[in-house]
Amino acid sequence: MAFVFACELPDHLWFQVDQDVWVQPDPAGGIRMGMTDPAQTRAGKLLYLRVRSKKRVGAGQNVATVESGKWVGPVPAPLAGVVGEANPAVLADPSLVNRDPYGEGWLLTFHPDAPEAEWEVLGLRRGAAAVDPYRAKLQAEGLTCVRCADPPP
């Protein structure tokens, strides 16, 4: 498990750092997708989720909208493809993303156009490889330490 400012970046997941999302291949085909730990931490307690299911999108286009007590914003697609189904558990309790962003708090299924072998070329990074880009992103946003005891580098 890798960490950036005490936020987790599990090694088995792929991260699109610029868009604050993660993906995980699903054995049934497609991927599961969610908000990263740094993203949900910065957003605060999530109150609402809306997913654009069954829609073809390009990389970076909106696939969902999340709302917290202090923020409303889009969840961009990390890859081009087709939006699948929303996680019914998160629709019923959006704060599940805050409690378990990489487990039960996944947002939606997605069917990417690109195979996993091409994801790194398309800008996704696995666990530890996402730490330095994430640290740079957070520092560029003026954040030096998100909910952590880590001293800034």
How many CB atoms within 10 Å of residue 31?
A: 22
Domains, the chain, ranges and CATH? 19-123 (2.40.50.100)
pLDDT value at position 146? 45
Predicted TM-score of the model (pTM): 0.87
- Residue 145's pLDDT band, with cuts at 50, 70 and 90, is low
Kindly indicate the confidence band of residue 152, based on its pLDDT and cuts at 50, 70 and 90: very low
Average pLDDT on 75-87 reads 95
Convert the pLDDT of each residue in 24-68 to its tens digit. 998 777 999 999 988 888 889 999 999 988 899 999 999 999 999
Cβ pair 63, 75 in contact under 8 A = yes
Q: For residue 6, count CB atoms less than 10 angstroms from its CB and return exposed for 0-12, middle for 13-18, buried for 19 or more.
A: middle
40-63 residues labelled b (16+ CB within 10 A) or e (exposed): bbbbeebeebebbeeeebebeeeb
